[in-house]
A and B are shown apart, each in its own frame.
Chain A
Amino acid sequence: MTDNPSLLAAEHIGKSFIGMKALDDVSFDVRAGEIHALLGENGAGKSTLIKVLTGVYRPDAGVIKLDGQAVNVRDTQHAQKLGIGTVYQEVNLLPNMSVADNLFIGRQPMRFGFTDRRLMEKRSREILAQYDLDLDVTSDLSRYSVAVQQLVAIARAVDMSGRILILDEPTASLDSHETEILFAILRQLKARGLGIVFITHFLDQVYEICDRVTVLRNGKLAGSATTEVLPKIELVSLMLGRTLAVATHNVRRARPAPKVRQFSFKGLGRSRSIAPFDLDIGQGEVIGMAGLLGSGRTETARLLFGIDAADKGQASIEGKPVHIRTPREAVALGFGLCPEDRKSDGIIGDLSVRENISLALQAQRGWFNRLSRREQIALADKFVRALDIRTTDIEKPVKLLSGGNQQKVILARWLATSPRFLILDEPTRGIDVGAHAEIIALINQLCDDGMALLVISSEIDEIVAYSTRVVVLRDRVHRGELSGDDITTSNIMQMIAADPEGATA
């Protein structure tokens, strides 16, 4: 089936943004009836290529061909008319409008010159039923979780894609059940002869569902092959441009637990958010927090950091009781939090790398004790080097950086305040393999330097690699704790799946 003629092809595409070549002589094509994986590290140019294909950006060089005919994709609307449905990276929908509006905007069914709302709502329910979603389609999209919004975005794109479907990291916020449903739908579409472009960071998914792989690296084409003939290790080295280092051994686990655990939380809880839990953490410890989406991991972090006020329980530091009611108070006590959704909670896109890094330290010092520009530059330079943040200039607006580098900027912001207790919520979400390894190495290093860390992650392998202890959550309750040699992937999985409902996920 991959011998079909190509449906959509990009030939010798070049695209530059001020001072940076985002795409350089990249060719890519997708055939009818195939799922084509587009891979690469963050900043490799995948999203840029997608945006060129769908008319968001205009290429500086090269041609786009549809059915062998050169086309000039004017804008996203034109791309949709050509039968290209797209889900761009990170959810891009309209939270202020209803679910049905989001599914049908721009192509509402009309009757006597007016939108036929009843038909629109009926069809919305039918579309969502394919994804096992039973939503109130007339209520605002903002009422639903990120995962549901992601599914709605996918449902919209699938429903619109007459010929080609492009999915830029669709599975980042989906759990395994939702991912399975998505894959089943993709297989149906493939059988119907659609060409599908699939961008992901999960290599297993590439092998599960994709027919061909194209890898980009630093804006250039690194290679293209059918999945059958490409071993995984070769794929990874294509992506990284180097062979993968052997996974670091978790050495700290053998170490004795610290005598004193300075940070202690007793019976902390908040009704309708998270059941009361106990948590103690000391210097040089990494607590991994595992659980499914919605199990209460983020809620725990929000409570510890004072974003949500606890309605029960007691926190103490070095035996002294403390009250943490706002993030400000938490910061003053030496806490730091890197939030899960960096786009809306962490990064200030229009500010430069330097300003983003200096922000938390400045806030901690108070507005009257201003960081001089020289101090800011020194600080930014230090962390850009220490964390290997890839940017042409520390004065570059953060929004122009790739996802992994944005994550590092947030991390740098908190590290600049030299926190004693740092909470990382999904630090590796949506970033590539290379940056992944770097962030893990960084976590290990911070721990060796004597920081107390709490890391929330959906990637169990990752948690196993760096945690000294692991807390497992399920259904908004802290279910148990693993330490020492008990920390294994299978133990964690068993705890997560202990009840029959969780077992399917």
Chain B
Amino acid sequence: MSTRLLPFYATLLICALAYAACVFQFPAMLSFRVAGNLLTDNAFLGIAAVGMTFVILSGGIDLSVGSVIAFTGVLLAVLITHYGVHPLIAFAIALSITTVFGASMGAIIHYLEVPAFIVTLAGMFLARGMCFVMTTDSIPIDHQFYTALQGLFYRLPGGGRLTFIGCLMIIVFVAGILMAHFSKFGSYIYAVGGNRTSAELMGVPVARTTIGIYAMSGFLSGLAGIVFSLYTSAGYSLAAVGVELDTIAAVVIGGTLLTGGVGYVAGTFIGVIIQGIIQTYIVFDGTLSSWWTKIVVGVLLFSFIAMQRILVFLSSKRTTAIGGG
């Protein structure tokens, strides 16, 4: 139990230390305003990362996330601005398409036994290509419903704002945590990630679970696309390039094993916030290039993967000392 939770605690500690260091240098960072912005700015990343957590927990990967976010944004912009569809209907259309898209990738992965990496790589190109088929321009969205949603926030003390999309991310995380630990589907995800053959022999519906996982990742990518569209008020084919890699980084920094079966949704939240803190620090500093985010995330990833290997190594040493004849 303790070794399984250790990466999560380590992430939590690093997050706290990083925030403390930032506050030490820029006391203004300790405010509800910064905290509120952290949530708002990383809402789309966080929502997509929840889907990615489940995919990685099941031992898979989903590379189509960034493209699906861009696809959703472009689709919404085209529907709302060009065709005058009400945003709510556009949302429903976008979510249905991305969910079905994810489900079909899951079906291909399961029934044709193609590695998830390849299938979702194809999905990534496909979704990105579809953006360009719809339009190559950046289309602004100007609709009163959008303005209303963007103006929806809870005022925090000190001028901070808990925006609609920030709240949405928190809701998605809470739902994700509940699903991971308090639903049958959640237990099936861990089971499939732990040992697929055993899971099958124990009566876990592996096909339904695999398809469900990728459908959910598709749905959450679509939702992240909606949030991104609300955040930027536009749809652009080249948006959100490489976001899937940011989400994978958040998941791994959050303590989830890339081999599947071990990890926590809450850890991913911390992983997202750590990335957000680094970005905020760079904004506050004003002289640093934003590429420093990537460098720090890279270093963190390395150290986390190294730490996980060491933990796995230590715990396997211990079990062999206990068991065996």
Contacts and interface: CB of A to CB of B under 8 A. Distances in A.
Interface string A104-125: 0110101000110100000000
B159 interface: no
A443 to B, nearest CB: 19
A491 interface: no
Interface string A269-308: 0001100000000000000000111110111001000001
Contact of A114 (B178, B199, B200, B321): B178
Contact of A106 (B181, B184, B190, B195): B184
B319 interface: yes
- How big is the A interface, by class? 35 or more
A88 interface: yes
B201 interface: yes
B198 A92 contact: yes
A299 B190 CA distance: 32
Contacts of B195: 92-96
Contacts of B319: 142-143
B194 interface: yes
A115 B184 contact: yes
Contacts of B178: 114
B183 interface: yes
Given A94-B195, A142-B319, A77 B203 contact: yes
A92 B201 contact: yes
Nearest to A51: B201
Given A114-B183, A115-B182, A92 B321 contact: no
A387 B131 CA distance: 62
A297 B325 contact: yes
Q: Which of B178, B195, B201, B202 has the most CB of A within 10 A?
A: B202
Contact of B202 (A105, A108, A144, A273): A105
B194 A80 contact: no
A140 B4 contact: yes
Main DSSP-derived SS at the B contact region: helix
B324 A97 contact: no
Nearest to A76: B203
Interface residues of B, number: 33
Contact of B184 (A79, A108, A145, A298): A108
A96 B262 contact: yes
Contacts of A295: 325
A115 B201 contact: no
Contact of B325 (A80, A108, A340): A340
A140 to B, nearest CB: 6
Contacts of B320: 302, 308
B323 A97 contact: no
Contact of B323 (A101, A136, A144): A144
A90 B27 CA distance: 59
Nearest to B318: A143
A97 B190 contact: yes
Contacts of A76: 200-203
B1 interface: yes
A94 B198 contact: yes
A257 interface: no
A146 interface: yes
B261 interface: yes
Interface in B291-312: none
Contacts of A97: 187, 190-191, 194, 261
Interface in A182-222: none
Given A143-B322, A144-B323, A94 B194 contact: yes
Interface in B33-49: none
Interface in A302-346: 302, 308, 340
A250 interface: no
A171 interface: no
Nearest to B207: A75
B325 A96 contact: no
B184 to A, nearest CB: 6
A458 interface: yes
B325 A114 contact: no
A138 interface: yes
B204 A96 contact: no
A209 B164 CA distance: 66
A139 interface: yes
Contacts of A56: 200-201
Interface string A335-370: 000001000000000000000000000000000000
A43 B202 CA distance: 23
B202 A92 contact: yes
Interface in A117-159: 117, 136, 138-140, 142-146, 156
A94 B203 contact: no
A456 B203 CA distance: 36
A272 B321 contact: yes
Given A88-B201, A101-B187, A146-B323, A117 B182 contact: yes
A145 B319 CA distance: 8
A273 B321 contact: yes
A299 B325 CA distance: 7
Nearest to A87: B201
A86 B320 CA distance: 27
A145 B324 contact: yes
B7 to A, nearest CB: 14
A299 B183 CA distance: 40
Contact of B203 (A106, A117, A297): A106
A105 B188 contact: yes
Contact of A105 (B182, B197, B204): B204
Contacts of B218: none
A431 B178 CA distance: 45
A142 B4 CA distance: 11
Contacts of B204: 77, 105-106
Given A145-B324, A273-B321, A94 B201 contact: no
A294 B325 CA distance: 4
Given A94-B199, A115-B182, A115-B187, A77 B205 contact: yes
A261 B270 CA distance: 61
A252 to B, nearest CB: 26
A95 B4 CA distance: 12
B161 to A, nearest CB: 32
Nearest to A95: B194
Contacts of B323: 144-146, 294
Nearest to A426: B325
B210 to A, nearest CB: 14
Interface string B248-265: 000000000000011000
Nearest to A157: B202
B203 A114 contact: no
A292 to B, nearest CB: 8
A96 B184 contact: no
Interface centre among B198, B200, B205, B323 (most CB of A within 10 A): B323
14 contacts: A76-B202, A76-B203, A92-B202, A95-B194, A96-B194, A97-B191, A102-B202, A105-B187, A114-B182, A115-B184, A145-B323, A295-B325, A340-B325, A426-B325
Question: Which 10 A-B residue pairings sit nearest by Cβ, starting from the closest?
Answer: A145-B323, A96-B261, A96-B194, A114-B182, A298-B324, A94-B194, A77-B203, A293-B325, A92-B198, A115-B182
Interface of B: 1, 4, 178, 181-184, 187-188, 190-191, 193-195, 197-205, 261-262, 315, 319-325
Given A298-B325, A340-B324, 14 more contacts: A75-B205, A77-B205, A93-B202, A101-B190, A101-B191, A114-B178, A114-B183, A115-B181, A117-B181, A117-B182, A140-B4, A156-B202, A308-B320, A340-B325
